[in-house]
């Protein structure tokens, strides 16, 4: 798409002539739940940073669009050259906020910076761990990206890579982020607000929203009140009990999955009957519409239904406490120590109503005869229990966790959660390791099938964990805006997608 | 702030008989001040709940009913335990409040008593002893005042096992400075007074002077602070328990009920309101009772509680 | 006076150093912050890289040595969270806290002393009962209750004031009002108690017996002697405010030192924790020195 001078000039003229009042109306105020530690594009996979930076200030190479799959963004097309190399053709006529042109060199630099070892970037750590990425600049608008080991989903991985100018320092985070996006970063009054304004030389369509202010309030009731009084226009994340106004409040699947990670190494959890009993003891349906929001889905796998490889044929475990008791008795008869004290660990503030959920689960488990106690921890302590290395003397544990995967492919979750070496995995199953490796290397329909099979294996055959829910988030939007949250709202808020009523 | 030494004890100028037993005397004085009387009744009720509550109501208080969650209060058709409403898991609020009294009282009374005793003792020592001891104690108080309680709680959590005892320790430590500094300030003032100097001249030991003469002067202020500290501790405890340091679910205290009801202030107000109300009533009662005790124990003021109102002219 | 200040300054400096050493070592006992800054799915290499970058792999003594050598240049290190100097973050936050604390305590002192003394004047009377009731309710009610109810009532429903945030004078009304209530309740009760004792004392009775009708004189004389415990408690409450009013800051979005401290503690951002403790400790130590001087001013018999 060509950069259209005349159109932009006309709009500029219109906004200045039409007066400040018009410009005011095209401002959006967003109130977020916590403030940003850094405004750095390579940290944009963290949701509060992503909501400000992602696709607003800094754009990614490719983009996942809900409903359409992987789409061009800064790259217009890509092709598999084999041997782990993909050739990306880059968009022409794009400039950065500082005026410099966007070329392949910028992409190469961004990749090196994000995955390099001079700074620890969230994007690099989260998506590129264990992958060596090299780039080869073919010409100004063509670049070869090679991954070792070969990644069949490299273009999908590139949807996480934000692009910054080649002059960006390799060894420190930036204070003033510069990107190719439709908005420039104006300033960050730490603790108070961040302001963005539109970038006249943006390569794409001029957005309706011309400037934005981001505010920070920790309390959901206050965020909701602010939109109600008009002090803010969007609160992308409010609690279910504050979402009481159907005219302004939207529910959306937020790509989070809640489950109980089971530690298979310690008896009695190493017995598949005991794990099955755990699953049958939970009345999942009773949570929906009560403790958790209406629209919460019962989960059978780690990734939400919109993700590739989702196995729609799997049935969530039903509520069958009698069968659960039977299973426990069977196991006890075989000498399994079913009445050992099991610790159920939860994390305070993990999601809305987490404490009620944990207490209800505790009750359900105790009802079928488990000897269980509940411990609620803050983040640091919970992390110790959730990730390896695990404590030697820990006893049988179930750790409640919430996992977010809106990136289109299970590969981002499966290794960590299920492989024998996975940092959060409680399972040591060589067959499962093989299945994960096979699916990771496959492409196209075969990949989908292999992932589906893996989910079936985990859920039905080895009963790997207690899958619970795919969660729902809530947003409140001022009626003067036309904006509906999607599954991506958990991690980004594209101002360019907002229009006015 | 003087209350004794240069005064004449008031005579009960009454038209009634002088009561014989001290218990009856106390009850009569309590009855004079109606508010204090009801305060005492309420506190006895709370203590009874603390002792017998879990024994009697544990089962009802923990019975969950997910579909009956956030049941509104004042529905008199239901079991009396539900008259204050149901909580987020459908458990009856009144039963939970009764059962929670035990943990709440244990933590609050433990922390306040400990900080009061230790703080006052250290403050008396600081006020009465030599400059070096006094300087060390006071700087210690400064350090405690600057050490955030949350950090202390996290450290204790890591170094020691989580338990209610550790929670009480953390809360007690953070409240020591106010008692320490208040008692020390009083001692500084009082030790220069004539009667103290007279006692010293007469050969009274330091301990006697401190406990018999100084402490009774300091006590009323300290008690006032302590009664209000009760409320503060009850609420502060909840923000520490979320760390995993003390009260773990399904154990519960009033402070925890209040903070767990926070997200529902606009939709299910009773979740925070009734436990909060009980905290307020307990504080009010403690304070009214302590004010009454102050009047009753002070020979100068006592007449207010002893003289009967004459009915005729 | 000079020797008093001199000795006191030295003692305070020693305690400050002791506090820093204590906090430094104790806080590092609470585990490795790496896991808090990286996503759960970060690889082991990233975690190692992070630890190297932030010097977390060095033995504790070495870390302490580096810390002290930086400290003499007033360099408290960088915040792990923000990649900015810790002291900058703290001073910026402390400015807000200081403003809130000063405004609130000024209002509290003036109103609590006046109302408390008036209540003490007619013990048991209607005014006394009513003020006692309201002050006790205020002092024992949870502060977030009051804050959120106030926001819903005065901002959402009545529209008199903004919900939250900083900016104009109107933005300060609710936060200060909410912060005001507990110290007001406590100090009012202490003033009242103190005044009751003083007003019942011999020299006041003598003054009255001698025909001194002028209430203000009794008021002022009585007040002067009653103030010792009162200013002690005022100091205690002021210290609490200087440590930051977390709930008010959180709800109203005032970026003060309370929220900064809590977030830093939970995120194990050690440099910010230490810097914040240092700054608030200095403020509290100075305040306590002033209070001790005030004791001597109010009651000349006091010697140290």
* A41 band by pLDDT with thresholds 50, 70 and 90: very high
Higher-confidence residue of A108 and C32: namely A108
Angle between helices C170-199 and C126-140 (to 10 degrees): 130
Q: Please choose, from the candidates B196, B172, B195, B194, the residue with its C-alpha nearest in 3D space to the C-alpha of residue B121.
A: B172
Structure-token pair, residue B271:
């979740």
Residues A404-421 pLDDT 10s: 888 888 988 898 899 998
CA distance linking residue C304 with residue C284, whole number of Å: 20
pLDDT at A22: 43
Q: What is the mean pLDDT of residues A301-322?
A: 92
Q: Please choose, from the candidates A488, A27, A5, A421, the residue with its C-alpha nearest in 3D space to the C-alpha of residue A213.
A: A27
Q: B8 pLDDT exceeds 70?
A: no
Q: Please choose, from the candidates A212, A209, A233, A213, the residue with its C-alpha nearest in 3D space to the C-alpha of residue A15.
A: A209
Residues A415-451 pLDDT 10s: 889 999 888 998 999 999 999 999 988 888 999 999 9
CA distance linking residue C136 with residue A329, whole number of Å: 57
CB distance A229 to C156 below 8 Å: yes
Angle between helices B270-297 and B22-32 (to 10 degrees): 120
pLDDT at B2: 46
Higher-confidence residue of A157 and B1: namely A157
Q: C121 pLDDT exceeds 60?
A: yes
Separation in Å, CA B193 to CA A329, A426, B196, B200, C67: 78, 72, 6, 11, 50
Topology given in CATH for the domain delimited by B33-62+91-312: MetI-like fold (1.10.3720)
Give pTM, 2 decimals: 0.87
| Partner chains of C (3+ C-beta pairs under 8 Å) | A, B
Residue A361's Cβ-side half-sphere holds a number of Cα atoms within 13 Å equal to 30
Peptide bond preceding A279 in cis form (omega within 30 of 0): no
Give A129's contacts in chain C (Cβ within 8 Å): 41-43, 45-46
Chain C 67-126, CB below 8 Å of chain A: which residues?
81-83, 89, 92-93, 96
pLDDT at A24: 55
Task: Let me know if A79 is exposed, middle or buried by CB neighbors in 10 A (0-12, 13-18, 19+).
Answer: exposed
State how far residue A195 is from chain C, nearest Cα, in angstroms: 15
* B5 band by pLDDT with thresholds 50, 70 and 90: very low
CB distance C89 to C80 below 8 Å: no
Structure-token pair, residue A90:
């880059």
Angle between helices C270-298 and C257-266 (to 10 degrees): 140
Chain C's closest residue to B242, CA to CA, is: C266
CA distance linking residue A42 with residue A163, whole number of Å: 8
CA distance linking residue C122 with residue C77, whole number of Å: 57
Residues B211-269 pLDDT 10s: 777 888 888 889 989 998 988 898 888 778 777 777 888 889 998 899 888 888 888 99
State how far residue A384 is from chain C, nearest Cα, in angstroms: 8
Residues A196-224 pLDDT 10s: 999 999 999 999 999 999 999 988 999 99
Give A348's contacts in chain B (Cβ within 8 Å): 242-244
> What string of DSSP letters covers C212-245?
---HHHHHHHHHHHHHHHHHHHHHHHHHHHHT--
Write down how long chain C is. 304
* A147 band by pLDDT with thresholds 50, 70 and 90: very high
Q: What is the mean pLDDT of residues A368-384?
A: 89
Q: A179 pLDDT exceeds 90?
A: yes
**Mean pLDDT estimate for chain A:** 90
pLDDT above 90: percentage of residues in chain C: 35
Whether residues B224 and C295 touch (CB distance < 8 A) is answered with no
Mean pLDDT lowest among A55-59, A265-269, B238-242, C192-196? B238-242
Q: A337 pLDDT exceeds 70?
A: yes
Whether the CB of A416 is below 8 Å from some CB of chain C: the reply is yes
Whether residues A191 and C93 touch (CB distance < 8 A) is answered with yes
Whether residues C164 and A222 touch (CB distance < 8 A) is answered with yes
* B308 band by pLDDT with thresholds 50, 70 and 90: low
Class of domain C86-303: mainly alpha
Whether the CB of C42 is below 8 Å from some CB of chain A: the reply is yes
Whether residues A290 and B157 touch (CB distance < 8 A) is answered with no
Return the number of CB contacts < 8 Å for A and B: 68
Q: Give me the residue label for tokens 């879990």.
A: B54
Whether residues C15 and B142 touch (CB distance < 8 A) is answered with yes
Angle between helices B164-190 and C215-242 (to 10 degrees): 150
Angle between helices C270-298 and C2-27 (to 10 degrees): 150
State how far residue C56 is from chain B, nearest Cα, in angstroms: 18
Residues C182-230 pLDDT 10s: 999 999 999 998 888 887 777 777 777 777 766 676 677 767 777 888 9
Q: A143 pLDDT exceeds 90?
A: yes
Q: C94 pLDDT exceeds 90?
A: yes
State how far residue C264 is from chain A, nearest Cα, in angstroms: 11
CB distance A214 to A39 below 8 Å: no
State how far residue A363 is from chain B, nearest Cα, in angstroms: 8
Q: A13 pLDDT exceeds 90?
A: no
Helices (H) and strands (E) in chain B, counts: 12, 0
CA distance linking residue A159 with residue C16, whole number of Å: 51
Whether residues A37 and C81 touch (CB distance < 8 A) is answered with yes
Structure-token pair, residue B235:
């609420």
CA distance linking residue C69 with residue C83, whole number of Å: 20
Domain residue ranges of chain B, discontinuous segments joined by +:
33-62+91-312
């Amino acid at each position: 798409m060509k950069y259209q001078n005349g159109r932009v000039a006309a709009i500029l003229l219109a906004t200045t002539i039409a007066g400040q009042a018009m410009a005011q109306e095209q401002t959006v105020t967003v109130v977020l739940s916590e403030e940003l530690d850094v405004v750095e594009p390579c940290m944009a996979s963290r949701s509060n940073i992503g909501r400000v930076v992602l696709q607003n200030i800094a754009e990614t190479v490719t983009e996942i669009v809900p409903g359409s799959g992987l789409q061009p963004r800064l790259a217009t097309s890509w092709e598999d050259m084999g041997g782990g190399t993909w050739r990306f053709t880059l968009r022409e006529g794009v400039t950065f906020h500082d005026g410099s042109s966007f070329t392949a060199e910028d992409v190469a630099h961004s990749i090196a910076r994000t995955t390099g070892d001079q700074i620890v970037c969230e994007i690099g750590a989260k998506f590129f761990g264990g992958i060596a990425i090299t780039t080869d600049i073919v010409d100004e608008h063509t670049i070869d990206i090679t991954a070792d080991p070969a990644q069949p989903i490299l273009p999908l991985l590139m949807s996480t890579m934000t692009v910054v100018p080649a002059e960006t320092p390799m060894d420190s985070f930036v204070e003033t982020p510069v990107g190719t996006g439709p908005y420039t970063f104006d300033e960050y009054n730490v603790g108070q607000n961040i302001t963005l304004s539109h970038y006249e030389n943006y390569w794409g369509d001029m957005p309706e929203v011309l400037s934005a202010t981001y505010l920070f309030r920790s309390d959901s009731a206050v965020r909701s009140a602010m939109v109600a009084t008009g002090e803010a226009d969007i609160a992308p994340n409010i609690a279910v009990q504050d979402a009481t106004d159907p005219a302004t409040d939207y529910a959306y699947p937020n790509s989070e999955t809640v489950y109980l990670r089971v530690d298979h190494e310690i008896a009695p959890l190493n017995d598949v009957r005991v794990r099955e009993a755990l699953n049958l003891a939970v009345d999942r349906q009773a949570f929906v519409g009560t403790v958790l929001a209406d629209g919460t889905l019962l989960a059978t796998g780690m990734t939400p239904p919109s993700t590739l490889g989702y196995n729609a044929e799997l049935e969530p475990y039903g509520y069958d406490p009698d069968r659960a008791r039977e299973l426990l008795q069977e196991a006890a008869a075989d000498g399994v120590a079913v009445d050992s004290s099991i610790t159920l660990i939860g994390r305070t503030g993990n999601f809305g109503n987490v404490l009620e959920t944990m207490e209800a689960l505790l009750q359900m488990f105790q009802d079928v005869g488990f000897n269980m106690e509940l411990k609620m921890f803050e983040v640091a302590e919970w992390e110790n229990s959730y990730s390896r290395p695990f404590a030697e003397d820990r006893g049988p544990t179930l750790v409640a966790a919430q996992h977010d995967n809106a990136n289109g492919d299970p590969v981002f979750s499966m290794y960590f959660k299920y492989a024998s070496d996975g940092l959060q995995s409680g399972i040591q199953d060589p067959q499962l390791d093989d299945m994960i490796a096979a699916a990771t290397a496959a492409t196209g329909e075969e990949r989908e099938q292999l992932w589906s099979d893996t989910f079936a294996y985990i859920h039905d055959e080895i009963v790997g964990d207690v899958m619970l829910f795919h969660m729902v988030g809530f947003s409140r939007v001022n009626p003067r805006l036309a904006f509906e949250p999607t599954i991506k709202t958990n991690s980004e808020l594209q101002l360019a997608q907002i229009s006015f009523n | 702030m003087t209350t004794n030494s240069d005064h004449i004890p008031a005579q009960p100028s009454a038209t009634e008989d002088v009561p014989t037993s001290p218990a009856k005397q106390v009850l009569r004085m309590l009855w004079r001040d109606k508010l204090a009387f009801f305060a005492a009744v309420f506190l006895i009720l709370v203590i009874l709940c603390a002792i017998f509550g879990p024994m009697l109501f544990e089962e009802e208080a923990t019975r969950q009913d997910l579909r009956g969650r956030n049941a509104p209060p004042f529905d008199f058709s239901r079991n009396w335990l539900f008259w204050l409403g149901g909580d987020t898991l459908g458990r009856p609020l009144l039963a939970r409040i009764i059962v929670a009294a035990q943990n709440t009282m244990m933590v609050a009374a433990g922390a306040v008593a400990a900080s009061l005793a230790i703080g006052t003792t250290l403050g008396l020592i600081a006020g009465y002893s030599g400059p070096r001891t006094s300087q060390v104690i006071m700087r210690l108080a400064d350090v405690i005042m600057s050490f955030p309680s949350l950090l202390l709680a996290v450290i204790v959590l890591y170094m020691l096992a989580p338990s209610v005892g550790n929670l009480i320790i953390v809360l007690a430590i953070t409240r020591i400075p106010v008692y320490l500094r208040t008692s020390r300030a009083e001692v500084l003032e009082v030790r220069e007074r004539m009667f103290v100097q007279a006692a010293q001249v007469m050969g009274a030991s330091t301990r006697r002077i401190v406990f018999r003469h100084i402490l009774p002067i300091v006590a009323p202020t300290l008690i006032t602070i302590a009664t209000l500290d009760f409320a503060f501790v009850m609420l502060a405890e909840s923000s520490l328990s979320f760390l995993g340091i003390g009260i773990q679910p399904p154990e519960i205290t009033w402070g925890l009920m209040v903070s767990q009801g926070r997200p529902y202030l606009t939709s299910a107000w009773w979740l925070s309101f009734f436990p909060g109300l009980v905290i307020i009533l307990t504080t009010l009662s403690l304070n009214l009772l302590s004010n009454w005790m102050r009047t009753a124990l002070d020979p100068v003021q006592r007449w207010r509680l002893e003289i009967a109102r004459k009915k005729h002219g | 006076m000079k020797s008093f200040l001199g000795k006191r300054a030295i003692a305070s400096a020693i305690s400050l150093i002791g506090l820093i050493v204590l906090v430094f070592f104790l806080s590092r006992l609470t585990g490795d912050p790496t896991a808090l800054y990286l996503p759960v799915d970060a690889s082991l290499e990233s975690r190692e890289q992070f630890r190297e970058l932030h010097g977390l792999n060095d033995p504790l003594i070495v870390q302490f040595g580096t810390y002290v050598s930086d400290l003499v240049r007033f360099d408290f290190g960088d915040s792990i969270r923000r990649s900015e100097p810790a002291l900058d973050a703290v001073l910026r936050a402390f400015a807000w806290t200081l403003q809130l604390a000063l405004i609130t305590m000024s209002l509290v002192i003036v109103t609590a002393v006046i109302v408390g003394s008036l209540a003490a004047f007619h013990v048991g009377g209607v005014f006394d009962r009513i003020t006692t009731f309201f002050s006790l309710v205020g002092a024992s009610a949870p502060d977030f209750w009051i804050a959120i109810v106030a926001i819903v009532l005065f901002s959402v429903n009545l529209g008199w004031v903004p919900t939250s945030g900083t900016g104009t004078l109107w933005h300060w009304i609710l936060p200060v009002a909410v912060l005001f209530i507990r110290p007001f309740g406590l100090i009012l009760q202490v003033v009242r108690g103190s005044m009751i004792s003083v007003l019942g004392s011999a020299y006041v009775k003598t003054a009255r017996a001698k025909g001194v009708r002028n209430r203000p004189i009794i008021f002022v004389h009585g007040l002067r002697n009653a103030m010792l415990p009162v200013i002690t408690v005022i100091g205690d409450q002021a210290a609490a405010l200087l440590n930051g009013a977390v709930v008010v800051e959180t709800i109203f979005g005032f970026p003060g030192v309370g929220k900064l401290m809590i977030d830093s503690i939970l995120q194990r951002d050690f440099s910010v924790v230490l810097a914040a403790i240092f700054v608030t400790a200095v403020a509290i130590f100075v305040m306590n020195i002033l209070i001790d001087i005030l004791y001597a001013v109010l009651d000349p018999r006091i010697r140290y």
